[in-house]
Structure 1
Amino acid sequence: MSGGRKAAEKRGRRAESLAAFYLRLKGYRILDQRCRLKVGELDIVAEKGGCVVFVEVKRRKTRAAALEAITPKQRARIERAALLWTAKHKKAQQSLRFDVITIAWPAWPTHIKDAWAENVQATL
């Protein structure tokens, strides 16, 4: 792995750790982090109020750039990974949600609940 790639990986891990801490402060229970499955990776899997939440963490210079980094192809991969995770952990009966946490340092993380909703781009 090149030096630039290692640095990016380290920044990504720090962003995910900060996002998990932030979710804990908001009352979420972290079920899994950096979960690698055959079909893709899930940054954070959390639970709150009987809902399993799959959280994609994006760290960019701006919140808009972070949201733009989540492509339809990536969303589909996250959804496939989530379905595999729920089957493996017997959570299929619970409600599921896809959230995004954007980190645009030095601002505090922004948590977008139900980020797959069509109106997310309107919040930019």
Structure 2
Amino acid sequence: MGRREAAEARGRRAEALAAWWLRAKGYTILSRRVRLPVGEIDLVARKGDVICFIEVKERATLDAALGCVTPTAWRRISRAAESWMAQRPRYHACGWRYDLIAIAPGYLPSHLRDAWRPGMA
């Protein structure tokens, strides 16, 4: 397996762990690995009347994972979230936010709710 394939496999495992973690906390997973022309979303989940667009990062440490999503990446995720919402009118009454789940070996996943908002640097 090449480096790219290995990284892809690690990403899939991290996203599966994050989805499991969210379900254990009462979230419903609506979509996984969303690929749109304007961007990508790792997970889309719902809890109550809030839709969460979740970026999952796995690194050697939780701090490294928490700090590795750039403002440019968040803007791409935001564009993808807007597109996803536009295609699903049944969720238009829901609030929505952008979360980050950080995963590192030897630690439970760290879920940072409302990690970014449009207009943040």
CA distance in 2, matches of 1:96, 1:79: 11
Query: What secondary structure, in the 3-state scheme, does the structure 1 residue paired with 2:114 have?
Result: coil
TM-score, normalised to structure 1, is 0.90
CA distance in 2, matches of 1:82, 1:106: 31
Deviations 1:47-73 (A, max 9, x none): 001100011000001112112210010
1:77 corresponding residue in structure 2: 76
Give the letter aligned to residue 86 of structure 1: M
Query: What secondary structure, in the 3-state scheme, does the structure 1 residue paired with 2:10 have?
Result: helix
In the alignment, structure 1 segments of 5+ residues that lack a partner are 118-124
1:122 corresponding residue in structure 2: none
Are residues 1:93 and 2:109 paired? no
CA distance in 2, matches of 1:31, 1:43: 11
Give the letter aligned to residue 54 of structure 1: F
Between Structure 1 and Structure 2, how many residues are aligned? Answer: 116
2:52 corresponding residue in structure 1: 53
1:16 corresponding residue in structure 2: 15
Deviations 1:7-58 (A, max 9, x none): 0100000000000000000000000000101111100000001100011000
TM-score, normalised to structure 2, is 0.92
Identical amino acids, percent of aligned pairs: 52
CA distance in 2, matches of 1:26, 1:94: 19
2:107 corresponding residue in structure 1: 107
CA distance in 2, matches of 1:67, 1:27: 22
1:120 corresponding residue in structure 2: none
CA distance in 2, matches of 1:108, 1:68: 17
CA distance in 1, matches of 2:67, 2:18: 18
1:39 corresponding residue in structure 2: 38
Give the letter aligned to residue 43 of structure 1: D
Give the letter aligned to residue 35 of structure 2: R
